Structures are given as C-alpha cells and as structure tokens.
C-alpha cells in the first residue's frame, strides 16, 4: 500500500506536469496541451520566466520546442537535417514568428547559422553534430545571451559532448546544469545553459523565482494548512 502523501506526489506529476500523457502519447506538451521542449522540467520552468518578446532565437533541431520558442520570442529560426522530419514539421509547425529550414547533414547543417550576419540572443543545440554546432553558435551569440545544450549528461560517455562543453566553457560562458525528469522519458537527464557573463534578460514577473508547478508556496495559507493536516 502506498501512503496518501506518496499518492499526492504521483497525482502532481500526472496532473501538473502531465508526464503520464507525454510518455503514453509520445508528445512534448504541458498540462494544457501547449508545446514544450524536450528539456528537463527544471530547465523549462527556469527558462519560462523570462520575457523574450524582443529576442531572436536560433535552434539546431526542430520539434515542439520550436513552437514553444515561437510563442515567446520575436523571431525563431529552426534548422533540421533530416528531410522526412523536416517535411513533417514544415506542415505541422505554423507560426508567424517561426521559420523552419532544411540543411543537409555535415558542414551545411552547422553553418546554417552563419548564412547571414544576424546574431541571436538564444541559441539551442539540440540536433546533430553538437560540437560543430557549438563552434558556430559562438560566432553568432549576442552579448548578454545564452546557449542551451540539451542532453549534456551524455558528456560522461561521448567525446562529442565533451568537446561541445569544453568549447562553450572556453568562451568564458557560465555553465548552469538543470538535472531532472523531462517529458516523454521515465528517467532523468540534464539540460545545460551557458550564459554570457553580461546576461541581462528581464523576468516577466515582479519576483524571481516564481512558484513552479506543485510548489507549496503557490498555495494560500489556508490551502497549506489543509495540506499539512491531510498528510499527518
């Protein structure tokens, strides 16, 4: 038999994080059906605090994350190297702030970010050839911006990830690792964010941090007391 407190914990994951739905249906969405990235939940909640309305985003790797960023940023460019995957998302990802492009695997893929002189406030490395993408990303990162490297825990077994992390840190970016569960998986991983030392993004809220999903202090005092009494 499970305790009532443990069952409440499971209920929070099912209802607030909708993790059962993401695993069973193999889709990255939140509890309201909105698209979210395949990052760890702590990373998603942290990144969701900021105002990106005047920011530009470049993304290596296309998916629901593309719509997540398009809903928040002024402009998003997402590049995909898998033609079938590109064709699928080209039809499904419709947003006025989003441009989805296809570039073949190899140098053409990681150099897509160099095709114009434009610089970006947020660059996401979540596709193929992550070391090479990290190299080119550094050439197009705006001052005060950030680079997101997903699945960074693979550094423990992958030379590619070791090289990617090394080059980002050698550029004097500040590394912050977000460990935890993520949509669609029944195991944990890590999403790392590399900040320019002059990072200056503004929060959408009056305070930071805000109360995350399932947070005790998002409840009223009466609700907290009720919760305490139920768990005694």
**What rounded mean pLDDT belongs to the chain?**
93
- Domain presence at residue 21: no
36 and 147 co-located in one domain: yes
Distance CA 178, CA 200 (A): 19
Q: Residue 173 is part of which domain span?
A: 26-211
Distance CA 214, CA 181 (A): 14
Other beta carbons within 10 Å of 161: 20
Q: Using alpha carbons only, how large is the chain's radius of gyration in Å? A: 19
228: pLDDT strictly greater than 70? no
Residues 228, 142 share a domain: no
Please report the pLDDT score of residue 90 as a whole number: 80
Mean pLDDT, residues 151-170 taken together: 97
Is residue 120 domain-shared with residue 177, that is, in the same domain?
A: yes
Q: Say what the pTM is.
A: 0.93
CATH number at residue 103: 3.40.50.150
Both 12 and 89 in one domain: the answer is: no
Same domain, 12 and 88: no
User: pLDDT tens, 79-92?
Assistant: 999 888 888 888 77
What mean pLDDT is predicted for residues 103-111?
89
- Give the number of domains in the chain: 2
Percentage of the chain with pLDDT > 90?
78
Coil, strand, or helix at residue 36? coil
Please compute the mean of the pLDDT values over residues 171-194 and round it to a whole number.
Answer: 97
């Amino acid at each position: 038999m499970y305790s009532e407190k443990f069952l409440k914990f499971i209920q929070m994951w099912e209802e607030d994080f909708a993790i059962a739905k993401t695993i069973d249906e193999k889709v990255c969405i939140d509890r309201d059906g909105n698209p979210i990235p395949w990052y760890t939940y702590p990373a998603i909640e942290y990144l969701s605090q900021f105002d990106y309305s005047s920011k530009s985003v470049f993304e290596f790797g296309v998916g629901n994350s593309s719509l997540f960023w398009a809903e928040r940023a002024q402009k998003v460019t997402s590049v995909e190297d898998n033609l079938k995957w590109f064709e699928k998302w080209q039809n499904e990802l419709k947003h006025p702030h989003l441009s989805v492009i296809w570039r073949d695997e190899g140098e053409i893929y990681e150099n897509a970010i160099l095709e114009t002189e434009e610089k970006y406030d947020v660059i996401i490395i979540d596709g193929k050839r992550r070391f090479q993408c990290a190299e080119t990303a550094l050439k197009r990162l705006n001052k005060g911006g950030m680079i997101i490297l997903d699945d960074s825990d693979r550094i423990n077994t992958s030379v590619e990830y070791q090289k990617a992390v090394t080059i980002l840190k050698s550029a004097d970016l500040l590394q912050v690792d977000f460990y935890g569960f993520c949509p669609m998986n029944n195991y944990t991983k890590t999403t790392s964010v590399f900040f320019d030392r002059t990072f200056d993004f503004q929060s959408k809220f009056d305070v930071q941090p805000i109360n995350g999903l399932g947070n005790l202090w998002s409840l009223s005092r009466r609700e907290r007391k009720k919760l305490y009494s139920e768990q005694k």
